[in-house]
């Protein structure tokens, strides 16, 4: 089992979960093997962001973004719900401030609804 530390965001998300879910998620993260890190595939991917090698781990209904520290421990930057706008924006590098503006602007939701209905939202 690896040592895992969590950012404030990650801790905040964990605190929202029932204790059993918290333990399962922490066990999943702590059980990440060296092979997972050396040969990411399937539920593991890796990418460079701001000079860091970050990993994305899909487990249960969560997406976990973390880095491996020099001592072999893991630092969990983000725990995000699967299929969420926050996960999407992090993967595609949209700044959080722009994301929040999009979420709060009603035309954004109208635009998404228009896409689901198969029409051009600008025609409304």
Encode pLDDT of 61-120 as tens digits: 888 999 999 998 999 998 888 877 777 777 777 555 555 545 555 555 666 677 666 655
Domain borders along the chain are 1-83, 84-115
pLDDT at 109: 60
Between 44 and 108, the more confident residue is 44
- What is the average pLDDT across 27-37? 89
**Predicted local distance difference test score (pLDDT) of residue 60:** 82
**Taking the chain, what is the end-to-end CA distance rounded to the nearest angstrom?**
55
Q: What is the pLDDT of residue 120?
A: 52
Q: Dihedrals φ, ψ of 88, to 5°?
A: -60, -50
Provide CATH code, domain 1-83: 3.30.2310.20
Residue 19, pLDDT score: 94
Quote the mean pLDDT of the chain.
80
Question: Using CB atoms within 10 A of its CB, is residue 57 exposed (0-12), middle (13-18) or buried (19+)?
Answer: buried
> Over 80: is that where the pLDDT of 59 sits?
yes
Band of pLDDT at residue 6, cut at 50, 70 and 90: very high
Looking at residue 122, what DSSP letter applies?
A: G
Q: Do 80 and 67 touch, CB atoms closer than 8 A?
A: no
């Amino acid at each position: 089992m690896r040592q895992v530390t969590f950012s404030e965001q990650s801790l905040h998300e964990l605190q929202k979960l029932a204790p059993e879910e918290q333990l399962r998620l922490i066990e999943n993260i702590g059980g990440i093997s060296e092979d997972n890190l050396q040969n990411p595939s399937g539920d593991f991917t890796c990418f460079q962001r701001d000079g860091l090698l970050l990993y994305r781990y899909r487990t249960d209904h969560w997406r976990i973004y973390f880095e491996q520290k020099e001592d072999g421990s893991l630092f969990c930057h983000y725990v995000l719900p699967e299929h969420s706008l926050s996960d999407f924006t992090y993967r595609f590098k949209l700044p959080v401030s722009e994301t929040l503006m999009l979420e709060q602007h009603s035309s954004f939701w109208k635009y998404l609804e228009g896409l689901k209905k198969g029409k051009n939202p600008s025609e409304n």
